[in-house]
């Protein structure tokens, strides 16, 4: 299972990259895309919209399932990945390249509370059982 | 080939043209249609051949066995269709006054009475047009009941984790939130979890019994007590009524409201997806809220009852009288079977399911709930087969099509991995069931010998496996011309 | 045993295979106290011969009437081939086409259905049917409110069928959607544009009926433009047959309506006492993920050949559960199949001719009835195939008297529109001849004259 060391993770299978400018880029993990199968549609949040940590803010759809994506941190959506409209399958190809949205976090503490790669790997192992 | 691709400009089904229209003031220019719609220009024979050929590209109960769990695909008696297609019934305008339709209303009234007795309920409305609309009516009545008592905070609907998707969707449609209650490893509701969930916000619990796991919820009286003690009401989803019809009355189990799927239990046709009918029956305390119209007695005859009779009704769920023609078919079915025949439905549906379960176990397949009796349906899990061969439940389902059997319900309920939910119904013979067992046995052998054969199935249907991913990524939902 | 094939020997063999002594034993997990024995209200079964006799006697007792009621359900000629094909067992007794490879016939017909309806309404996408026109309007209101994601107020003209308005209220009430009714002009019978401008607050959607319940054609361009100017979605509620003559919703106003819904009954569904009919919903492409119900798409199979399948299912209850666009599962598939065959047999010219005939026959009926002393046409607006007449006295007894002459003389508007006085809604479709109209007019004239002399 591909779990890059440099990223942070939410229990609900989002990855978060802490950018040098303090913003957070968010996507879904390789495990999430594998569980969903062929992704056919991504519903993205509106730029400028605000979400609390843990709030539903996007949906990733496959043929037989739809998964909600939760904001890993509270904040305002700064940008979304427009390429996913044409090519939702890019999440299947590389879940960590195909980001969903970028968020400006309200406070740093929530960022620090996210799982690291080891913690996320442990959670996945626990879910297996 | 699409009907549009058979079109030849200027061709028409001449016999279908009405006489030339008489005089009418021309329509104002700004309201007029400028371009003709894209309809095919074909002869009557072109159309008849096209649609007859398409009919031959579809499985149906008249041609195939459908062991489709929770769907009750039983034989649809032709007599019920013939009886409902009487020209006077077909020509009846829904707004014609009741005096002109006493025969029609009599059938509906008697159907209401039959359904009352079967469910043990105090009153029945026939108007909901499908199971999901019956569910909506039920939850709307539950909300109206609480509201009428000044108890408006009750907006939570509890459903088991294995519930059919319409249950949670109905909760949302009725403005309620949904809470899930766990089932244990024998398929029973976890009573402790239920006790922890109920409270002052509980509007009600929606339950199928036998459950979608194919087993009877034997603790139902205790479930009812817990929900009632918390102030909530109990909703019976009639999807699986075929298992207990004529044997157990939902009211006796403690339910306050029930919907029936007449296209399942009463053998009205599925029609490739509908129409169905989802009548609701209620305990006395919900009777004032029933959806209108109802059929009421008027002296020797019958009349419509509407909001003037039921001022607290949740209202109208269709413009007229639901799927009246479906109701006539269900009435005909109930009269053909009668009291004893309806009870035999449950007997033989249960016999067939338990026989099939025993034979599949003998054939080496794994049951999801091995310690339980089958109701009218049961679940097998193909997890072991998938782990060993890579062949999934979906692959097996597709391969069954090659063997002349419609696929069982796959991947439902969601909590059993690689599952097939199998419901043979009472109208199938032992020979058909044996053929099905043989087919599954062959497929299991094929999965081990040549998994690719199964994974690439079906091979003998009009098309090979359909690319659903492309369909969803690049939706082509309407023909727009050559 | 009706519809149960088992012989005694087979039952014994099956029980032996199960390891049970009797069928009764198979119910041993059901608590004893729940076993019911008394089903006294259900009669014993009858053979098919007796059933057919019973049902045909009841049908014959109801008899035939010369029908001039429309009011949302219309008597049209249905080509004989429509139901002869639609009741072929392969269509009639098929399940929902979830297994695409075993359902190509059903799926292709539904794709053709969606194509025909999309073209008729001038919109891009259509679903594979809803229950009926009234519940389809409720679904359109909910879809519009979801798409707007804020405002929950929807404007619905009073010129919309009163039962549709009842149904919409019943279905959307629990989701906190507010329905505001708009008045119509007492002169033209169309929605008063002033009524629109007096609507207050943020609006999610506006419904525009075409034609409206009175048969009158509405100023749909103006309503649609006003709706869009106020940031709301325009929902067209249409009689699909009228669309053979009148401008389709997709072309209303500057930008076109966003959603079109309606009752599909005029296409192939017999009156049948109120159902089954079918609802349809068409919409702009951008709204496709807000659509309720099943949608068929065209794709390819593993060999690259054209194939059909249900698609965009992540909107639906079996996948999205509590977050689905609707709880609808079973729809009116067979009625949509019949409608497709019906439209293929009529074709563009047959459909247009039928619509024109309905319009002309109703115009002739209204002219003839308005010539009866004391009767007059109520509205001046352009109409499709219904007309409102003012009678000199209460309508209900007149209709009852006509009923005794086996004529259904129309729909009494006085309960739902008391402000119109003794108003009668009549309709003459293409099925009515000059003689039929003359018979109705003569009976009505005689009745009213007789009443006067009393």
Least confident of A62-66, B251-255, B299-303: A62-66
**Judging by beta carbons within 10 Å of its beta carbon (0-12, 13-18, 19+), is residue B245 exposed, middle or buried?**
buried
Cβ-nearest to C273 among B27, B101, B344: B101
Looking at the predicted structure, is the pLDDT value of residue A129 above 70?
A: no
Report how many Cβ contacts below 8 Å link chain A to chain B: 13
* pLDDT score, position C50: 98
Q: Which of B337, B361, B379 is the last residue of a domain?
A: B337
Domain edges within chain A: 9-108
**Are B440 and B322 part of one and the same domain?**
no
* Chain-chain contact of C361 with B468 (C-beta, under 8 angstroms): no
CATH class name, domain C80-340 = alpha beta
Question: Quick one: which H or E segment has residue C122?
Answer: none
- Chain A residues whose CB is inside 8 A of the B468 CB are 63
Residue C286 touches chain A, beta carbons under 8 Å: no
Residue B121 maps to a domain: yes
* Chain-chain contact of B472 with C135 (C-beta, under 8 angstroms): no
Distance, in Å, from the CA atom of C291 to the CA atom of C129, rounded to the nearest integer, reads 11
**Are B275 and B350 part of one and the same domain?**
no
Distance, in Å, from the CA atom of C306 to the CA atom of C316, rounded to the nearest integer, reads 25
- Chain A residues whose CB is inside 8 A of the C320 CB are 66
Distance, in Å, from the CA atom of C282 to the CA atom of C127, rounded to the nearest integer, reads 7
Q: Which residues, in sequence order, are bridge partners of residue A33?
A: none
Nearest CA in chain C to B253: C34
Nearest CA in chain C to B362: C17
* pLDDT score, position C453: 43
Residue C200 touches chain A, beta carbons under 8 Å: no
- Give per-residue pLDDT as tens, B180-218: 999 988 889 999 999 999 999 999 999 999 998 999 999
Residue B1 maps to a domain: no
The CATH number of the domain holding residue B353 is: 3.90.1150.10
Distance, in Å, from the CA atom of C317 to the CA atom of B173, rounded to the nearest integer, reads 11
Residue B411 touches chain A, beta carbons under 8 Å: yes
**Can you tell me which residue has the tokens 């490879």?**
C101
**Can you tell me which residue has the tokens 């679903």?**
C127
Which residues in chain B (391-430) have CB-CB distances under 8 A to chain C? 397-398, 401, 406-407, 412, 426-430
Residue B358 maps to a domain: yes
| Signed CA dihedral, B359, B360, B365, B367: sign only | negative
Report how many Cβ contacts below 8 Å link chain B to chain C: 696
- Chain B residues whose CB is inside 8 A of the A64 CB are 411
* Chain-chain contact of A66 with C320 (C-beta, under 8 angstroms): yes
Which residues in chain A (65-124) have CB-CB distances under 8 A to chain C? 65-66, 68
* pLDDT score, position C267: 98
Distance, in Å, from the CA atom of A59 to the CA atom of A44, rounded to the nearest integer, reads 7
Distance, in Å, from the CA atom of B73 to the CA atom of B273, rounded to the nearest integer, reads 12
Q: Neighbours of A (≥3 Cβ pairs closer than 8 A)? A: B, C
Q: Which of B337, B362, B393 is the last residue of a domain?
A: B337
Q: Which residues, in sequence order, are bridge partners of residue B247?
A: none
Q: Please tell me whether residue C126 adopts helix, strand or coil conformation.
A: strand
Torsion of the alpha carbons at A71, A74, A78 and A83, rounded to the nearest 10 = -10
Residue B204 maps to a domain: yes
- Chain C residues whose CB is inside 8 A of the B77 CB are 2-3, 48
* pLDDT score, position C454: 44
Instruction: Go through chain A and tell me how many residues it has.
Output: 129
**Can you tell me which residue has the tokens 């072109």?**
B46
* Chain-chain contact of A89 with B411 (C-beta, under 8 angstroms): no
Per-residue confidence of chain C (454 residues) as pLDDT tens digits? Answer: 899 999 999 999 999 999 999 999 999 999 999 999 999 999 999 999 999 999 999 999 999 999 999 999 999 999 999 999 999 999 999 999 999 999 999 999 999 999 999 999 999 999 999 999 999 999 999 999 999 999 999 999 999 999 999 999 999 999 999 999 999 999 999 999 999 988 888 999 999 999 999 999 999 999 999 999 999 999 999 999 999 999 999 999 999 999 999 999 999 999 999 999 999 999 999 999 999 999 999 999 999 999 999 999 999 999 999 999 999 999 999 999 999 999 999 999 999 999 999 999 999 999 999 999 999 999 998 899 999 999 999 999 999 999 999 999 999 999 999 999 999 999 999 999 999 999 999 999 999 998 654 4
Nearest CA in chain A to B394: A64
CATH topology of domain C66-75+347-453: 3.90.1150
Q: Where are the beta strands (DSSP E) in B1-113?
A: none
Distance, in Å, from the CA atom of B472 to the CA atom of C309, rounded to the nearest integer, reads 10
* Chain-chain contact of B473 with A89 (C-beta, under 8 angstroms): yes
Residue B271 maps to a domain: yes
Nearest CA in chain C to B262: C330
Query: Could you give the count of Cα atoms lying within 13 Å of B191 in the half-sphere of its Cβ?
Result: 10
In terms of Cα–Cα distance, which of B458, B460, B405, B394 is closest to B428? B405
* Chain-chain contact of C313 with A62 (C-beta, under 8 angstroms): no
Residue B6 maps to a domain: no
The CATH number of the domain holding residue B270 is: 3.40.640.10
- Chain A residues whose CB is inside 8 A of the C289 CB are 41, 43
Distances (CA, A) of B181 to A115, B173, B365: 29, 20, 29
Q: Neighbours of C (≥3 Cβ pairs closer than 8 A)? A: A, B
- Give per-residue pLDDT as tens, B145-154: 999 999 999 9
- Give per-residue pLDDT as tens, C62-116: 999 999 999 999 999 999 999 999 999 999 999 999 999 999 999 999 999 999 9
In terms of Cα–Cα distance, which of B435, B419, B433, B119 is closest to B281? B119
Residue B473 touches chain A, beta carbons under 8 Å: yes
Q: What is the CATH code of the structural domain delimited by A9-108?
A: 2.40.50.100
Nearest CA in chain C to A60: C314
Which of A33, A36, A41, A63 has the most B C-beta neighbours within 10 Å, making it the best mutation to test the interface with B?
A63
- Chain A residues whose CB is inside 8 A of the B472 CB are 40-41, 61, 63
Query: What does residue C344 show for φ and ψ, rounded to 5 degrees?
Result: -65, -35
Residue B472 touches chain A, beta carbons under 8 Å: yes
* Chain-chain contact of A41 with C323 (C-beta, under 8 angstroms): no
Residue A39 touches chain C, beta carbons under 8 Å: no
- Chain B residues whose CB is inside 8 A of the C57 CB are 103
Domain with B327, as residue range(s), is 79-337
- Chain B residues whose CB is inside 8 A of the A89 CB are 473
In terms of Cα–Cα distance, which of B399, B455, B41, B473 is closest to C298? B473
Distance, in Å, from the CA atom of C227 to the CA atom of B160, rounded to the nearest integer, reads 43
Overall average pLDDT of the B397-417 stretch: 93
- Give per-residue pLDDT as tens, B373-390: 999 999 999 999 999 999
In terms of Cα–Cα distance, which of B63, B9, B16 is closest to B38? B9
* Chain-chain contact of B21 with C359 (C-beta, under 8 angstroms): yes
Residue C320 touches chain A, beta carbons under 8 Å: yes
- Chain C residues whose CB is inside 8 A of the B430 CB are 6, 10, 13-14
**Are B290 and B343 part of one and the same domain?**
no
Banded pLDDT at A64 (limits 50, 70, 90): confident
Q: Any idea what DSSP says for residue B69?
A: T
Distance, in Å, from the CA atom of C377 to the CA atom of B6, rounded to the nearest integer, reads 46
* Chain-chain contact of B91 with C345 (C-beta, under 8 angstroms): no
**Are B91 and B211 part of one and the same domain?**
yes
**Are B272 and B360 part of one and the same domain?**
no
Nearest CA in chain B to A61: B472
Q: Which of B312, B337, B362 is the last residue of a domain?
A: B337
* Chain-chain contact of B473 with A64 (C-beta, under 8 angstroms): no
- Chain A residues whose CB is inside 8 A of the B473 CB are 40-41, 88-89
Query: What does residue C22 show for φ and ψ, rounded to 5 degrees?
Result: -155, 165
Question: Please, where in chain C does CATH 3.90.1150.10 lie?
Answer: 66-75+347-453
- Chain A residues whose CB is inside 8 A of the C299 CB are none
Distance, in Å, from the CA atom of C392 to the CA atom of C451, rounded to the nearest integer, reads 11
Residue A41 touches chain C, beta carbons under 8 Å: yes
Which residues in chain B (338-357) have CB-CB distances under 8 A to chain C? 338-345, 347-348, 350-352, 354-355
* Chain-chain contact of C289 with A43 (C-beta, under 8 angstroms): yes
Q: Which two tokens stand for residue A115?
A: 């799982």
* Chain-chain contact of B458 with C330 (C-beta, under 8 angstroms): no
**Are B257 and B347 part of one and the same domain?**
no
- Give per-residue pLDDT as tens, B116-167: 999 999 999 999 999 999 999 999 999 999 999 999 999 999 999 989 999 9
Domain count across chain B: 2
**Are B160 and B219 part of one and the same domain?**
yes
* Chain-chain contact of A64 with C323 (C-beta, under 8 angstroms): no
Q: Which two tokens stand for residue C109?
A: 């017909």
Residue B55 maps to a domain: no
Residue B190 maps to a domain: yes
């Amino acid at each position: 299972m591909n779990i890059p060391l440099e990223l942070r993770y939410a229990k609900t299978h989002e990855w978060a990259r802490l950018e040098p400018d303090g913003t957070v880029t968010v996507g879904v993990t390789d495990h999430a895309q594998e569980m969903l199968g062929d992704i056919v549609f991504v519903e993205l949040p509106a730029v400028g919209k605000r979400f609390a940590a843990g709030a539903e803010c996007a949906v990733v759809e496959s043929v037989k399932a739809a998964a909600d994506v939760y904001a890993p941190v509270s904040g305002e959506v700064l940008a979304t990945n427009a390429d996913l409209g044409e090519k939702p399958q890019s999440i299947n190809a590389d879940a960590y390249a195909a980001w969903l949205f970028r968020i400006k976090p309200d406070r740093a503490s929530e960022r620090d509370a996210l799982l690291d790669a080891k913690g996320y790997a442990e959670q996945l192992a626990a879910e297996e059982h | 080939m699409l009907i549009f691709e058979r079109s030849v400009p200027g061709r028409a089904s001449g016999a279908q043209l009405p006489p030339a229209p008489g005089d009418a003031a021309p329509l104002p220019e700004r309201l007029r249609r400028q371009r003709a719609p894209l309809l095919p220009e074909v002869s009557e024979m072109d159309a008849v051949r096209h649609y007859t050929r398409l009919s031959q590209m579809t499985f149906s109960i008249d041609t195939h066995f459908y062991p489709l769990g929770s769907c009750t695909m039983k034989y649809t008696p032709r007599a019920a269709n013939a009886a409902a297609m009487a020209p006077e019934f077909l020509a009846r305008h829904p707004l014609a006054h009741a005096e002109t339709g006493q025969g029609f209303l009599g059938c509906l009234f008697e159907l209401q009475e039959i359904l009352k007795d079967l469910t043990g309920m105090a009153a029945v409305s026939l108007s909901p047009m499908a199971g999901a609309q019956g569910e909506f009516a039920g939850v709307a009545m539950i909300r109206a009941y609480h509201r009428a008592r000044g108890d408006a905070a009750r907006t939570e609907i509890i459903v088991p984790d294995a519930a059919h998707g319409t249950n949670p969707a109905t909760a949302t449609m009725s403005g309620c939130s949904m809470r899930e209650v766990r089932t244990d490893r024998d398929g029973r509701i976890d009573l402790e979890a239920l006790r922890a969930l109920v409270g002052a916000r509980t509007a009600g619990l929606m339950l199928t019994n036998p459950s979608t796991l194919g087993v009877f919820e034997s603790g139902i009286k205790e479930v009812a007590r817990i929900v009632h003690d918390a102030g909530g009401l109990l909703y019976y989803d009639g999807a699986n009524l075929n298992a207990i019809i004529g044997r157990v009355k939902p009211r006796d189990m403690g339910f306050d409201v029930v919907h029936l799927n007449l296209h399942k239990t009463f053998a009205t046709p599925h029609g490739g997806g509908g129409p169905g009918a989802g009548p609701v029956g209620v305990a006395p305390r919900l009777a004032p809220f029933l959806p209108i119209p109802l059929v009421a007695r008027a002296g020797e005859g019958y009349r419509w009852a509407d909001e003037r009779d039921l001022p607290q009704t949740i209202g109208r769920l269709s413009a007229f009288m639901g799927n009246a023609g479906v109701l006539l078919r269900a009435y005909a079915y109930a009269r053909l079977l009668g009291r004893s025949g309806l009870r035999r439905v449950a007997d033989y549906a249960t016999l067939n399911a338990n026989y099939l379960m025993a034979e599949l176990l003998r054939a080496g397949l794994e049951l999801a709930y091995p310690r339980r009796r089958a109701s009218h349906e049961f679940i097998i899990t193909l997890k072991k087969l998938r782990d060993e061969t890579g062949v999934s439940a979906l692959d097996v389902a597709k391969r069954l099509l090659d063997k002349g059997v419609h696929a069982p319900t796959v991947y439902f309920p969601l909590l059993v991995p690689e599952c097939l939910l199998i419901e043979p119904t009472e109208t199938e013979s032992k020979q058909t069931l044996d053929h099905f067992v043989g087919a599954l046995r062959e497929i299991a052998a094929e999965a081990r010998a040549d998994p690719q054969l199964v994974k690439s199935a079906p091979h003998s249907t009009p098309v090979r496996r359909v690319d659903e991913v492309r369909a969803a990524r690049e939706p082509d939902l309407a023909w727009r011309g050559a | 045993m009706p519809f149960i094939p088992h012989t005694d020997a087979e039952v014994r063999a099956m029980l032996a295979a199960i390891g049970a002594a009797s069928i009764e034993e198979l119910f041993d997990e059901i608590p004893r106290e729940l076993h019911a024995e008394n089903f006294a209200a259900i009669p014993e079964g009858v053979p098919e011969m007796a059933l057919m006799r019973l049902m045909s006697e009841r049908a014959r007792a109801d008899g035939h009437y010369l029908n001039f009621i429309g009011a949302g359900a219309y008597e049209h000629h249905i080509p004989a081939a429509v139901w002869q094909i639609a009741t072929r067992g392969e269509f009639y007794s098929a399940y929902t086409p979830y297994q695409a490879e075993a359902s190509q016939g059903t799926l292709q017909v539904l794709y053709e259905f969606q194509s025909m309806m999309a073209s008729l309404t001038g919109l891009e996408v259509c679903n594979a049917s809803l229950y009926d026109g009234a519940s389809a309007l409720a679904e359109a209101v909910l879809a519009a409110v979801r798409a707007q994601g804020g405002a929950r107020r929807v404007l619905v003209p009073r010129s919309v069928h009163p039962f549709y308005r009842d149904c919409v209220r019943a279905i959307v009430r629990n989701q906190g959607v507010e329905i505001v009714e708009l008045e119509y002009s007492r002169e033209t019978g169309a929605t008063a544009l002033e009524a629109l401008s007096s609507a207050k607050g943020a609006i999610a959607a506006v419904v525009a009926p075409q034609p409206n319940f009175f048969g009158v054609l509405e100023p749909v361009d103006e309503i649609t433009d006003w709706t869009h100017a106020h940031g709301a979605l325009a929902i067209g509620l249409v009689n699909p047959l009228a669309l053979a003559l009148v401008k389709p919703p997709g072309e209303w106003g500057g930008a076109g309506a966003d959603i079109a819904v309606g009752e599909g009954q005029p296409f192939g569904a017999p009156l049948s006492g109120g159902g089954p009919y079918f609802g349809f919903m068409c919409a702009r492409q951008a709204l496709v993920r807000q659509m309720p119900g099943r949608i068929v798409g065209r794709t390819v199979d593993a060999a690259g050949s054209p194939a059909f399948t249900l698609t965009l299912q992540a909107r639906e209850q079996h996948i999205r559960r509590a977050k689905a666009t609707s709880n609808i599962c079973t729809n009116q598939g067979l009625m949509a199949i019949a409608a497709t065959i019906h439209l293929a047999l009529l074709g563009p010219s047959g459909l247009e001719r039928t619509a024109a005939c309905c319009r002309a026959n109703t115009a002739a009926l209204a002219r003839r009835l308005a010539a009866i002393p004391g009767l007059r046409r109520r509205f001046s607006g352009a109409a499709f195939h219904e007309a409102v007449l003012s009678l000199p006295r209460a309508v209900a007894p007149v209709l009852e008297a006509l009923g005794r002459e086996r004529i259904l003389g129309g729909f009494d508007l006085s309960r739902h529109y008391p402000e119109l006085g003794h108003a009668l809604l009549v309709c003459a479709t293409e099925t009515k001849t000059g003689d039929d109209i003359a018979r109705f007019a003569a009976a009505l004239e005689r009745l009213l004259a007789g009443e006067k002399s009393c």
